[in-house]
Structure 1
Amino acid sequence: MTPGTGHETAPRTSRRLAALAQALDTVLPTAAPTGETTHTAPTVLSTGIRTLDDALGGLQPGRFYLVAAAPGAGSSLIATAAARTGALDQQQPVLYAASGLTRADIAARIVAAHLPVDYRRLRAGRLTPTEQDDAVALHHHLAQAPLYIDDGTDLTTGAIAESVPDLPGLALIVVDRLQATEDPRLPLSGPTQITDAAQALAHLARTHELPVLAAVDTDDPQLIAALSLDITITLTRNDDRLQARITERDLGTQAALTLHADLAHARITDPAPIP
């Protein structure tokens, strides 16, 4: 009891403190005497787009990445690329939280980007016999990928967080997408819900030491600024060219780069090399 009050004092929980040496271990290799193995920084995942990886340093644990673009400008395709690369190429467990998309949408994008085949003909069931054979051969490879899709209409950040313990070794969370226009059928829609969701996802990234990447279907600078996030990738599309600007909240613009929008194959790629 606290003397003279008659009330019990709640036990004090110690804060989690880290010495600088521990913090350095998360970003730098540890020096070691000759002949000893050095510790390396945590493994980062790829977005599947080399130019973007070079600018971001990959998708790093504990960080939240928001990809913002007007509808049809490519933010959702970057989300798909990150999920596809993490699960298929790097064989890391990925949770794909699909708000407004269906698992069929996602599967079709992955197949179209991977083969590649025309996305619209794939969805319409009009692949050529050769493309159909390629798709069948690809099926087994894709089916082994540790990619887990939640396309429930009741998808919330709470539901996403509840799924994390069910996926041992989870390496990446992708949220596709936060919707600027409010839809009563989609919890992750509307300015207020987007703001709350972005902050919750940033907290989820930090507490679980996971990279979390989310797409939002707006490039409204006021709404994006109101989210006050650490890392934002803003896209602007002009035909098949994408301009990407990477900003950090406290440091401003960190990089500006050009990407290629290959919409026929539902993917974003590096720009073609200049002859």
Structure 2
Amino acid sequence: MGLSTGIRALDDVLGGLQPGRFYLVAAAPGAGSSLIATAAARTSALEQHQPVLYAASGLTRADIAARIVAAHLPVDYRRLRAGRLTPTEQDDTAALHHHLAQAPLYIDDGTDLTTDAIAESVPDLPGLALVVVDRLQTTEDPRLPLSGPAQITDAAQALAHLARTHELPVLAAVDTDDPHLIAALSLDITVTLARDADQIHATVTERDLGPQATLTLHADLAHARITDPT
């Protein structure tokens, strides 16, 4: 079993996140791809104490920390961002922030983030166990290098190469479920998400073998996380 995604049902299908493999989590905006990326990073770094490089495109360190805290404790994400936690929740949050600061989670939220920059960071992090890219964006934005259809194609291929050459699991989120774009990427493993209220339908597809499994997960959006079925 490879590294856990933090979601047991998904781990059972994938066999965990295996070294040398690139995993693309594809979903329309709001359907949960970014939450799976955060869950994988949180589980590996905070629970399993494995070094993780979190490359955040369009997200800030504060965004990532808030999602991790809300999911891990858990506390209500909206009240957390609004600063309306109870005194007990505030104490728990402060303690977790301290713990998070000590965890081997390396966040790069620079506006100059590219796949070359990600690859150059890998040798500088001894014992690196996982690379997470959150996220590739289909709408081109001149301020975000990992955006636009052409850049997504190049980035996906570069990240797949990074996984193979460094024998690392690499997981990236992309903000589309367009089957034509996903098929054009021709990647090893794709997890496509479709959200229906508080349910997430996840289809796992392998490039050479086609769809392997479809499972239903729970969208616990109050705590900014996706969990196993209730």
TM class, shorter-length = over 0.9
Give the match's secondary structure for 2:35.
helix
The match for 1:69 is 27
The TM-score, its normalising length taken from structure 2, stands at 0.99
**Equivalent residue for 1:105, pick from 34, 55, 63:** 63
**Equivalent residue for 2:124, pick from 166, 176, 200:** 166
The match for 2:106 is 148
The match for 1:214 is 172
Distance in 2 (CA, whole Å) between partners of 1:133 and 1:201 is 39
Distance in 2 (CA, whole Å) between partners of 1:139 and 1:148 is 14
**1:36-74 deviation digits (Å, cap 9, x = unpaired):** xxxxxxx62100000000000000000000000000000
Shift of residue 117, structure 1, vs aligned partner: 0.6
TM alignment of 1:126-275, pairs within 5 A? 126-272=84-230
The match for 1:29 is none
Distance in 2 (CA, whole Å) between partners of 1:137 and 1:99 is 27
**Equivalent residue for 2:40, pick from 65, 82, 86:** 82
2:202 is aligned with what amino acid?
A
Distance in 2 (CA, whole Å) between partners of 1:70 and 1:140 is 34
Q: Unpaired segments of 5 or more residues in structure 1?
A: 1-42
1:220 is aligned with what amino acid?
D
Distance in 1 (CA, whole Å) between partners of 2:95 and 2:147 is 38
Distance in 1 (CA, whole Å) between partners of 2:130 and 2:209 is 25
Shift of residue 137, structure 1, vs aligned partner: 2.5
**Equivalent residue for 1:120, pick from 73, 78, 87:** 78
Distance in 1 (CA, whole Å) between partners of 2:149 and 2:98 is 41
The match for 2:15 is 57
**1:152-176 deviation digits (Å, cap 9, x = unpaired):** 0010000000100110000000000
Shift of residue 140, structure 1, vs aligned partner: 2.7
Distance in 1 (CA, whole Å) between partners of 2:97 and 2:64 is 14
- Relative contact order higher in (CA < 8 Å, ≥ 6 apart): 2
Q: Which has the larger radius of gyration?
A: 1
Give the match's secondary structure for 1:189.
coil
Range that drifts further, 135-144 or 253-262: 135-144
Shift of residue 136, structure 1, vs aligned partner: 2.1
**1:114-152 deviation digits (Å, cap 9, x = unpaired):** 110111111111111111121123233222210000000
Count residues with an aligned counterpart. 230
Distance in 2 (CA, whole Å) between partners of 1:252 and 1:221 is 13
Greater share of residues in strand: 2
The TM-score, its normalising length taken from structure 1, stands at 0.83
Distance in 2 (CA, whole Å) between partners of 1:164 and 1:249 is 26
Give percent identity, aligned residues only: 89
Distance in 1 (CA, whole Å) between partners of 2:167 and 2:96 is 32
Give the match's secondary structure for 1:219.
coil
1:109 is aligned with what amino acid?
R
